[in-house]
Chains A and B, each alone.
Chain A
């Protein structure tokens, strides 16, 4: 089985698995719409009423990140709870190839959030979906899914060592939304946050989507998002191997 085929089948398997959970489905369906509604009313209340499509796109991206973060936090823990962590770690493949599909599946299912918030904005609030670069928007959305999936792997790899990975994952929604400029332009943030924002794939993914929506050089942002994502993949894969070995040595792999 080629690595690519394994990743694709693994992603499909985990996406199907997620779709069997009433909790995951309900949360994926409802929460992005609540966030989109909140964003639209906030933009309308302030001086952003002419930027409602940015609110809808930003809320959708927030939904993708929330999905990836929850998935990454639970990627290892859920396998522990299901009693399948040892089995997937015993597979004759690198750990990265069995964990990456889990985080990629959360990013793929998170794509619904982007589609849903755009549809919600169009149907409920009459927002005209006029994209400056429609083809580039599609490419940016795919880049976001890939970039965020690989970033999720890096997070998941650090969670191998932690029993309460959710404790780290739970508060990370808002900082990443803020630092990545999903709704708030990063230029209004304190200057010390800018270097942090610059190394996040989410920042460049959000920028690519915004530029595809309102106009701007989309492709460099897509390229940087994917490049940082690739770095996350390499570092995450290395960490996953090291941490997995360490967890085996200390016999803590399955402890939850």
Chain B
């Protein structure tokens, strides 16, 4: 199998096998309806408290919508191999772990992009937000960048799952913290400085900023620095995921705890 096929076909097969929410009911309920309701909740809360305008909440929560699929997907990409007893087989493969796991991230990122686009569409239609047509390509790029960074963040959490047994706690807490620290719902100027600083190193933060800049019609040039920062964060998590997978794999072999649940 050539490397490209390993990444694409391997990633697609792993997505079908390991992502628990691919049934129509689970997909629509958890990944489409949930984020749309979240967006509407925060938009009404923001209106009532006069925290910011609708654009702030609609665009921010649309970017964040990718996180459910990406964070939990990344966790499942590693965690479910262990649950189904196939992790050992994957790690016995003579192919590059980096290529195997990088391939797994791509379907989750694509899925995240789809969910984010759906949430943005629902949010704008339900709450009457007008986004300049010229801004749409840039916004799609911001959503894609946020989804990719988030998927690598999820893979990092999945790698942590090789060391800690209950990876669901880690991923659920991480998903909650994204809601708080990325400035999607609370303007970062309203957060304590340490929280805002932590948010700088999380996915979604810069993608949401870029998408808001574009939705405000300020042009791609104004959003480019934030997009670059999001790419940097995503790359950082990709490297961290690869490093942690190597370390924890070696550690799990040494301690004979590879498939301990």
Residues on B with C-beta less than 8 A from A183 are 45
Contact: A34 with B176, CB < 8 Å? yes
With A170-B30, A184-B45 already in contact, the answer to whether A31 and B40 are too (CB < 8 A) is no
A164-B166 Cα distance, complex, nearest whole Å: 22
Which residues of A have CB within 8 Å of B177?
34
In whole angstroms, how far apart are the Cα atoms of A35 and B50 in the complex? 19
Interface residues of B in 86-121 (CB under 8 A from A): none
Tally of contact residues, A, Cβ under 8 A: 35
Q: Nearest A residue to B177 by beta-carbon distance?
A: A34
Q: How far is the CB of A231 from chain B (nearest CB, A)?
A: 25
Interface mask (A214-228 → B, CB under 8 Å = 1, otherwise 0): 000000000000000
- Which stretch, B5-13, B149-157, B183-191, B225-233, touches the partner chain A? B183-191
* B48 beta carbon closer than 8 Å to chain A: yes
Please, which residues of chain A bring their CB within 8 A of the CB of B33? 171
B53 smallest CB distance to A (angstroms): 12
Interface residues of B in 189-244 (CB under 8 A from A): 189-191
Q: B34 near A31 (CB under 8 angstroms)?
A: no
Q: Interface on chain B toward A: helix, strand, loop, or mixed SS?
A: helix
Q: Is the CB of A23 within 8 A of B169?
A: yes
Chain A residues, CB < 8 A from B186:
38, 41-42, 45
Is B176 a contact of A178 with CB atoms below 8 Å? no
Contacts of A170 in B (CB 8 A): 26, 29-30, 34
Question: Which residue of A30, A42, A44, A173 has the most chain B CB atoms within 10 A of its CB atom?
Answer: A42
Query: Cβ of A42 and Cβ of B51 under 8 Å apart?
Result: yes
Q: How many B residues touch A, CB cutoff 8 Å?
A: 35
Is B23 at the interface (CB under 8 A from chain A)?
A: yes
Instruction: Using known A-B contacts A166-B30, A171-B33, determine if residue A178 contacts B44 with beta carbons closer than 8 Å.
Output: yes
Question: Residue among A43, A164, A167, A175 with the most chain B CB within 10 A?
Answer: A167
Q: Interface readout for B115-143 with A: 1 if CB under 8 Å, 0 if not?
A: 00000000000000000000000000000
Interface string of A151-185 (1 = CB under 8 A from B): 00000000000101011101101110110000111
B256 at the interface (CB under 8 A from A): no
B26, B176, B180, B187: the one within 8 Å of A45 (CB):
B187
Asked if B25 contacts A189 (CB within 8 A), the reply is: no
B172 part of interface (Cβ distance < 8 Å): yes
Within 8 Å by CB of B26, from A34, A164, A174, lies: A164
Q: Knowing that A45-B186, A184-B45 are A-B contacts, what are 8 other residue pairs whose CB atoms are under 8 Å apart, sorted by A's residue number? A: A22-B166, A27-B173, A30-B173, A31-B172, A174-B37, A174-B38, A184-B44, A184-B48
A-B residue pairs, 9 tightest by C-beta: A46-B49, A45-B190, A167-B29, A174-B37, A171-B33, A171-B34, A46-B51, A167-B25, A170-B30
Interface CB pairs A-B, < 8 A, 27: A23-B168, A26-B173, A27-B173, A31-B172, A38-B179, A42-B51, A42-B186, A45-B51, A45-B189, A46-B46, A46-B50, A46-B51, A48-B49, A164-B23, A164-B26, A166-B29, A167-B25, A167-B30, A168-B25, A170-B26, A170-B30, A171-B37, A174-B34, A174-B40, A174-B41, A178-B40, A188-B48
